[in-house]
Chain A
């Protein structure tokens, strides 16, 4: 989306909380804007799937409010879901039917269903139309689910760990398709993953979820600018802002991890001997570490 366009809020989450016996998601306050791709990153069990299931009204929040396209599930469930394409973490399709049957069945629920798009996607993704679902590999099932999610031209696409457990070739195919999908600037995409490279490749915004809370949210490029590993002279560490962690790097230098608060401006640069941006998995590790230290 170009910078001069005002992005509409597609999903608005206010004080959302979901309590289980041994885990709590939230309270969360989040807005997702139209036309962006959000990568939701977190370790297993962080609450990513719970959040996405709440967004699909498959799981119900203990408290708080969720609005999608300005509507709430209490009154407009069908109207909301008509505009969403969803791919769950575990394949959920009927086992004994084939892609053709599924396409026919699902098309009745979506006024915008485009049979030609569905056929094309299945063809491009090498999904056999006549093969029963239970005979398809996990990767092919995900491809079929993606084709079903896209064939009704949704405004919002929600993907829960779409590349998890797939071989590198299928993963690449799915990421390629996703990169094509996100070219449509009116479409909002939310996808959760614990494979940070996938988010690195297609997401504009990254949401880090750790232990049920939002540990960090920001534009991918801004994160690259802020979250860095610096080598500085031991005497200059105090001059830096946004320091997360330091460790001795030998020869009078210190390795410093900086995050939010580090501006990377010239006044900072003069202290830096060497630097590199942190990868998303390194940021996640820092956030998880920070969270566990806070608990201790």
Chain B
């Protein structure tokens, strides 16, 4: 597998998505900044982060759907290289958003706040868990197949944020949720860095395995 050809795909995706990336980065900084100044939790930021990452990844795939995948498949590289390029592109987008979101965090001097960092790591992992299978479905079945999946994911994110908001303004979480939280109390004693590290590693491994599945899918797909 020639890594320079894979690198060209990542560079191309950044070039083609640059407007979308810049606009969404600006919006992300604005929202995250307002949340942090307001002393709010990073739950909303995490949701928005995942949402933006999904939108950008889907945007890249939309470009592909215009004929780009066929174009890439006519070039002298294997299906594995095409898939690797796309998975690394999406990962690079996520890292880009992570860096962007860290800017207001560092400006508000909250980099020492472990909860803030953990929220970003958790959002990064959730985005990996969402994008990995989405790309795999796309490479096997095409853009149309993931449109419903994408809409469902966005709805899920919006709905979960709405529920969090409702819980916040109501008298508190329902008893069943309190029970679950109590059952997970033992996690308080575990080093949060270790937990986030293990979770990140697991998410990355899942993402990589989805990449392998996607390569297999593309190898079978007729364009």
By a beta-carbon cutoff of 8 Å, the part of chain A in contact with chain B is: 53, 56-60, 77-82, 86, 88, 90-97, 101, 105-106, 108-110
Please pick, from B12, B67, B78, the residue contacting A77 in the complex, using a CB distance under 8 A. Answer: B78
Pick the residue among A56, A88, A94 that contacts B63 (CB under 8 A): A94
Task: Pick the contact of A94: B2, B4, B66, B74 (CB < 8 A).
Answer: B66
B-chain residues with CB within 8 Å of residue A91 when the two chains form the complex: 67
Q: Flag if A109 contacts B8 (CB, 8 Å).
A: yes
- Interface residue count for B (Cβ, 8 Å)? 25
Interface residues of B (CB under 8 A from A): 2, 4-5, 8, 12, 15-16, 63, 66-68, 70-71, 73-79, 81, 219-220, 222-223
- Out of A79, A82, A97, A105, name the residue touching B8 (CB < 8 Å): A105
Q: Give B211 Cβ to nearest chain A Cβ, in Å.
A: 18
CA separation between A108 and B10, bound complex, in Å? 13
Q: Which residues of A sit under 8 angstroms from B75, Cβ to Cβ?
A: 81, 106, 109
Across the interface, which residues of A come within 8 angstroms of B76, CB to CB? Answer: 77-82, 109-110
Which of chain B's residues have a CB closer than 8 A to the CB of A96? Answer: 16, 63
B193 shortest CB reach to chain A, Å: 40
Which residue in chain A gives the minimum CB-CB distance to B219?
A: A60
Contact A88 B77 (CB under 8 A): no
Minimal beta-carbon separation of A52 from chain B (angstroms): 11
The reply to whether B4 and A90 form a contact with Cβ atoms under 8 Å apart is no
Whole-angstrom distance between the alpha carbons of A21 and B79 in the complex?
26
What are 5 A-B contacts defined by CB distance under 8 Å? A78-B77, A78-B81, A79-B76, A92-B70, A94-B63
Say whether B74 contacts A58, CB under 8 Å.
Answer: yes
From residue A110, how far is it (CB to closest CB) to chain B in Å? 7
Assuming the contacts A105-B8, A110-B76, asked whether A60 and B220 have C-beta atoms less than 8 A apart, the reply is yes
A77 touching B223 in the complex, CB below 8 Å, given contacts A92-B70, A94-B16, A95-B66: no
CB distance from B62 to the nearest CB of A (A): 11
Q: In the assembly, what is the distance between CA of A79 and CA of B2, in Å? A: 12
Partner of A109, one of B66, B67, B70, B77: B77
Closest A residue, CB atoms, query B4: A108
Instruction: Say whether, besides A58-B70, A86-B74, A105 and B12 are in contact (CB < 8 Å).
Output: yes
Contact A108 B73 (CB under 8 A): no
* Cβ A78 vs Cβ B2 within 8 A: yes
Task: For A86, list chain B residues within 8 Å (CB).
Answer: 74
Whether A97 contacts B67 by the Cβ 8 Å rule is no
Contacts of B68 in A (CB 8 A): 92, 94
In the bound complex, how far is the Cα of B8 from the Cα of A109, in angstroms? 9
Q: Which residue of A lies closest to B81 (CB)?
A: A78
> Lowest 4 A-B CB distances belong to which pairs?
A92-B67, A81-B76, A82-B76, A59-B222
A5 to B76, CA, bound (A): 30
A279 to chain B, nearest CB (A): 33
Q: Which residues of A contact B70 (CB under 8 A)?
A: 58, 88, 92
- Complex contacts, B79 vs chain A, CB 8 Å: 77
Residues of chain B with a CB closer than 8 A to A60's CB: 219-220, 222
| A residues near B77, Cβ cutoff 8 Å | 77-78, 81, 109
Tell me whether A58 and B71 are in contact (CB under 8 A).
Answer: no
Please, which residue of chain A has its CB at the minimum distance from the CB of B8? A108
Residues of B with C-beta under 8 A to A101: 15
Q: Which of A53, A93, A105 contacts B67 (CB 8 A)?
A: A93
Q: Report Cα–Cα, A113/B11, bound state, in Å.
A: 20
| A residues less than 8 Å from B219 (CB atoms) | 60
Closest A residue to B78 by CB, please name it: A77
Q: Name the CB-closest residue of A to B67.
A: A92
A20 to B198, CA, bound (A): 46
- Give the residue of A79, A90, A108 whose beta carbon is less than 8 angstroms from that of B5: A108
Q: Which residues of B sit under 8 angstroms from A81, Cβ to Cβ?
A: 74-77
A116 to B12, CA, bound (A): 23
A93 x B5 contact (CB < 8 A):
no
- Chain B's closest residue to A90 (CB) is B67
Q: Complex: how many Å from CA A27 to CA B4?
A: 39
- Cα-based distance from A108 to B8 in the complex (angstroms): 8
Give, as a whole number of angstroms, the nearest-CB distance from A283 to chain B.
Answer: 31
Residues in B whose Cβ lies below 8 Å from that of A58:
70, 73-74, 222-223
Closest to A78 in B: B76
A58 to chain B, nearest CB (A): 4
A95–B220 alpha-carbon span in the complex (Å): 26
How distant is the Cα of A90 from the Cα of B71 in the complex, in angstroms?
11
- B223–A53 contact, CB under 8 A? yes
Give chain A residues whose Cβ lies under 8 Å from the Cβ of B8.
105, 108-109
Structural contact, B71 and A92, CB atoms closer than 8 A: yes
B5 and A109 within 8 A (CB) = yes
Instruction: Report the bound CA distance from A269 to B81 in whole Å.
Output: 61
| Complex-state Cα separation, A108 to B77, whole angstroms | 11
Write out the residue numbers on chain A whose beta carbons fall within 8 Å of the beta carbon of B71. Answer: 92-94
